[in-house]
Amino acid sequence: MNARDRLRLPHSCGYLWAARAAAVILALFVLALAIGHGGLPSLAEQPWSVRVIFLGGAVVFAGYAIGWRAPAVGGWIGLAGLAVMNAGEWAANGRPLGGVFPLLAVPCVLYLIGAWLVRRHGPGCPVD
């Protein structure tokens, strides 16, 4: 292993593990919110825009899970889910999601950066 490899090693690993950690933290945060509000609402009683937002959220969290083994695929799936969530909000209220919802993109972007580094420089982690 030369000096260039040692410099490269932490980068892809760091981005991928930061994405994984952020995904777990955000999943726990959403779970805590759901429990704190008495559980998830009945989607059958919700307007279509809320159903679309929940569908997009499920896709985002599926992207987080897929990103553990396939970071590029998981990152793109997560961003697609966030786009679905924003489309539902935009159609209902004429504006994108605000508050903490943009933070849902953080693990996706970190997955994509880590995957790009692995593709460009080769695997640098035992789990890549």
Q: What is the pLDDT of residues 7-64, one digit of tens each?
A: 544 567 889 999 999 999 999 999 998 888 888 788 889 999 999 999 999 999 999 9
pLDDT band at 5 (very low <50, low <70, confident <90, very high): low
- The 8 Å CB, 24+ separation contacts for 61-64 are 61/27, 61/30, 63/108, 63/111, 64/23, 64/26, 64/27, 64/107, 64/108
Does 65 fall in a domain?
Answer: yes
Does 26 fall in a domain?
Answer: yes
**Which of left, alpha, beta for 38 (phi over 0: left; psi -120 to 50: alpha)?**
left
Residue 50 structural domain: 3-121
Does 41 fall in a domain?
Answer: yes
* CATH code of the domain covering residue 92: 1.20.140
Tell whether the model's pLDDT for residue 128 goes beyond 50.
Answer: no
Does 96 fall in a domain?
Answer: yes
Does 128 fall in a domain?
Answer: no
For the chain, the first-to-last Cα distance in angstroms comes to 17
Does 60 fall in a domain?
Answer: yes
> According to the model, what pLDDT value does residue 18 have?
95
Does 48 fall in a domain?
Answer: yes
Does 126 fall in a domain?
Answer: no
> According to the model, what pLDDT value does residue 120 have?
82
How many structural domains does the chain have?
Answer: 1
Q: What is the pLDDT of residues 83-118, one digit of tens each?
A: 999 999 999 999 999 988 999 999 999 999 999 988
> According to the model, what pLDDT value does residue 82 have?
97
| pTM for the whole structure | 0.84
